Amino acid sequence: MATAIPMIELWRGGMLESEHLGHAVIYGPGGIEMAWGDPDAVIFPRSSVKMIQALPLIESGAAQAAGLTDRQLALACASHSGAALHRDGVAQWLHALGMGEADLRCGAHMPRDREERRRLTCSDEAPCQIHNNCSGKHAGFLTLNRHLGGGPEYVDMSHPVQQAVKSAFEDVTQEASPGFGIDGCSAPNFATSITGLARAMQFFAAASPAGSRREAAAARLARAMAQFPEMVAGEGRACTELMHAMGGRVAVKTGAEAVFVAILPEQKRGIALKIMDGGTRASEAAVTALLIRLGALERNHPVVDRLLTGTQRNWRGIATGELRLAPGFG
Amino acid sequence: MATAIPMIELWRGGMLESEHLGHAVIYGPGGIEMAWGDPDAVIFPRSSVKMIQALPLIESGAAQAAGLTDRQLALACASHSGAALHRDGVAQWLHALGMGEADLRCGAHMPRDREERRRLTCSDEAPCQIHNNCSGKHAGFLTLNRHLGGGPEYVDMSHPVQQAVKSAFEDVTQEASPGFGIDGCSAPNFATSITGLARAMQFFAAASPAGSRREAAAARLARAMAQFPEMVAGEGRACTELMHAMGGRVAVKTGAEAVFVAILPEQKRGIALKIMDGGTRASEAAVTALLIRLGALERNHPVVDRLLTGTQRNWRGIATGELRLAPGFG
């Protein structure tokens, strides 16, 4: 903890107002290439590892048996906004499985998507579990579970679905996970080091479709995410906008409490970072800086302005400040 | 910066997930009584100093001339939710001045209050400047401005209203402000040290209604805030709930980017703290801990459970973690 380093600063009136500390690792074919803070810091990756949680879905043959498309696989890796395209995508997926909303175990929350939120609010309709940003992941769990023949409580740690996830997780991070927490969506979330997480992303980046079963699954998931950015998050969201900006060449994923990862297949590199205070504005800015550093993202793309370099403005459009990279980072 | 200390931690699955660093000072009649982090750290107090920004409103005689009530003065010190009671309070205040929404210079944003947001959203009505959480402060500025006879651009640094605010600010902090930033509501926000901010809150705490003009104004404002907690923020908000819990004996105020202050008249003490990453959950938890430490807040009050000691639960009500005080704080 003590070794987290300043990464992102907020300036106002020519003075430093706030700052965010974190850890980050860039992992390449030969191992760690760059690290900031403590590469051994243990974190909960939260939703940044949904592509790992989806590996057993493909490796088991469940995805093929259910005829899942790449668009659905992108949704399995999503923290989606609960917009109509996500809602309908999950609802149709469950229907095709012969299942429904009640089979989910993710809980319900009001979706982030403005239009869908408005529709629910103004019609006095409660959000359902399909609106949960993790409902695509859970549809994937249900698909795997039907294939494995497990019981309905598929988020229990002892359930075959989560045992398969844990095994895949420890394999691609190349670490024995020191423990797990319960995520917002009730699924177990396995802890790992920043290095373990970056190593896992490097595995996805280097995975060959013609390689092992696990490699083929990883390659397909990374490609699916990069090809369907709108399914992975939603309009205006950092993941979606960053992947659009990189034209399908890179997959990125955020996780709660300010985790961000990136998979760069052309470079066979993975990125993992965690802002220790959980501030999402900083994890978004930090991953933007590292993607620019690696040449994957154009410095003058509008999304860079929005997430990192742009002037911050108040309700009347008056400039109030800006984010800056802390000295020594990015 | 480097000397900010860990204050609030988030734990999940028995492991530390996130942590927040900050600075805090408790200032008493004899000076600094306790400090964590760097008491000389310079910060933007943001909305935590609305009671300072309201001093000239009373001292000038403008409040008396306009017949302002304590309830209106609480609104002048508010970062309100834009609920009907705030909206109507500001609208009626402006009307009594012979002014209207167009005279405000705070900008418009969607209110935080759920019912008012719903009303606007479902009727396709845009929020107006009266919904701005700072509109009470700006109604105070307009009241002062009418008294001073200044021009309409009352948020300009060179305007008599802001010059009066600056003078009061430097007097009660007992520091020459090193500079200012533009706040979300377009008003200048003067920088000060954590100690200067705590010293100002101590001035409010010790101010006698029978003292100097400035003291009398400070005493009235602190009393107004503590007596009308629902005007200062809104239902369910930390400021309102904490003041309710302390039964009118203490005034507290949050500021953007995780500032929190408290005025404790019975103890003649002031508190100021800033979480350096701007995380509000941590500033709310930290001020709760310090209010308990000083005996102003009951440890077993439900608001303590909500802001600090309670189990965090996910969408299905399953326990996921908890906030903890970092070793050495609180």
Is B19's CB within 8 Å of A277's CB? yes
Q: Are B91 and B239 in contact (CB under 8 A)?
A: no
Interface test with A, best of B153, B162, B197, B316 (most A CBs within 10 A): B316
Tell me the pairing of strands A311-313 and B259-264.
unpaired
Specify the pLDDT at position A109: 98
Q: Count of CB contacts below 8 A, A vs B? A: 147
* Residues β-bridged to residue A6: A21
**CA-based nearest residue in chain B for residue A110:** B315
**Chain A partners within 8 Å of B3 (Cβ):** none
Nearest chain A residue to B320 by CA distance is A182
Rounded Cα gap, residues A259 and A57, in angstroms? 23
Best of B8, B47, B115, B182 to disrupt the A interface (most A CBs within 10 Å) is B182
* C-alpha to C-alpha distance for B231 and B236, rounded to whole angstroms: 12
Closest CB to B314: pick one of A13, A186, A315.
A186
How confident is the model at residue A299, as a pLDDT? 97
B186/A316 touch (CB, cutoff 8 Å), yes or no: yes
Nearest to B326 by CA among B35, B10, B14: B10
pLDDT for A252? 98
The answer to whether the beta carbons of residues B278 and B258 sit under 8 Å apart is yes
Alpha-carbon span B131 to A239, nearest angstrom = 32
Q: Are strands B15-28 and A31-36 parallel, antiparallel or unpaired?
A: unpaired
d(C-alpha A162, C-alpha A180), whole Å = 11
pLDDT per residue over A90-117, tens digit each? Answer: 999 999 999 999 999 999 999 999 999 9
Helix ranges restricted to H, B194-249: 194-206, 213-227, 229-232, 238-245
How far away is chain B from the Cα of A133, in angstroms, using its nearest Cα? 11
Within 8 A of A132 by CB-CB distance, chain B residues are 315
Q: How far is CA A92 from the centre of its chain?
A: 23
Least Cα separation, residue B197 to chain A (angstroms): 15
Chosen for mutation from A5, A18, A116 (greatest number of chain B CBs closer than 10 Å) is: A18
Does the distance separating the beta carbons of B318 and A13 come in below 8 Å? no
- Least CA distance to A45: which residue of chain B? B17
Domain ranges of chain B: 41-268
A185: distance to nearest CA of chain B, Å? 7
pLDDT given for residue A1 in this prediction? 43
Residues from chain A that touch B37, judged by Cβ atoms under 8 A, are none
Element (H, E) at A254: strand A251-255
Which residue ranges of chain B lie beneath pLDDT 70? Answer: 1-2
ipTM of model: 0.97
Instruction: Point out the residues of chain A with pLDDT beneath 50.
Output: 1-2
Say if CB B170 and CB B145 are below 8 A apart: no
State residue A82's pLDDT score.
98
Q: Put residue B328 in one of left, alpha, beta given phi > 0 → left and psi -120 to 50 → alpha.
A: left
Give the one of B15, B278, B282 whose C-beta lies nearest to A42's C-beta.
Answer: B15
pLDDT tens digits for A185-243? 999 999 999 999 999 999 999 999 999 999 999 999 999 999 999 999 999 999 999 99
Burial bucket for residue B99 (CB in 10 Å: 0-12, 13-18, 19+) = middle
pLDDT in tens, B196-252: 999 999 999 999 999 999 999 999 999 999 999 999 999 999 999 999 999 999 999
Q: Could A191 and B318 be called an inter-chain contact, meaning their C-beta atoms sit closer than 8 Å?
A: no
Cα–Cα dist A117/B229, whole Å: 30
What pLDDT, on the 0 to 100 scale, is given for residue B2?
46
Q: pLDDT of A157-167, one tens digit each?
A: 999 999 999 99
